[in-house]
Amino acid sequence: MAAGEKRFPGNSEMLIHKGLAFIELPSPSASIDAFAAAQAQNPDVFGEEYEARAAQAAAQWALGTTASRQQAVTLYKALIDDNDPTRQYWASQAYVETVVDLQFIQPTLLQVLTATLAKHPDLAPKAPPE
């Protein structure tokens, strides 16, 4: 990854992959930093990377502080609280369980989802996603 960072400095997609790698290690604080850098580098690209945004929330949750868990819920709420039906799938436990690229953090994602829906029950799916 270091070679890629040298070759493509500040590339938001490279930073997203770095964030995913660090959360898998696990190193949630390094993951949070990488996701923040990706978001700062190119907010539009990061905004469309739903799996990265979900992983960003999981990294905050994994950090384990009260403030970071509150931030995780805020981030996850922003992911699903949208008129775009594709993003609303992230409110479904069944959908989260099918996201292959994030299986390594699935238990953490489900905890974030549960906490988010507990705080914002209006975001719960009205009907199962198709």
Query: How many domains in the chain?
Result: 1
Helix, strand, coil % in the chain, rounded to nearest 5: 80, 0, 20
- Give CA–CA dist 1/12, Å, rounded: 13
The answer to whether residue 128 sits within a structural domain is no
pLDDT in tens, 49-59: 888 899 999 99
The answer to whether residue 130 sits within a structural domain is no
**Residue 61: is it exposed, middle or buried by C-beta count within 10 angstroms (0-12/13-18/19+)?**
buried
Percent of the chain with pLDDT over 90: 44
Of the candidates 39, 42, 124, 33, the one whose C-alpha atom is nearest the C-alpha of residue 77 is: 124
The pTM score is 0.83
**Residue 79 domain boundaries:** 2-123
pLDDT in tens, 17-42: 788 788 777 889 999 998 898 888 88
- Which residue bears the tokens 């770095």? 18
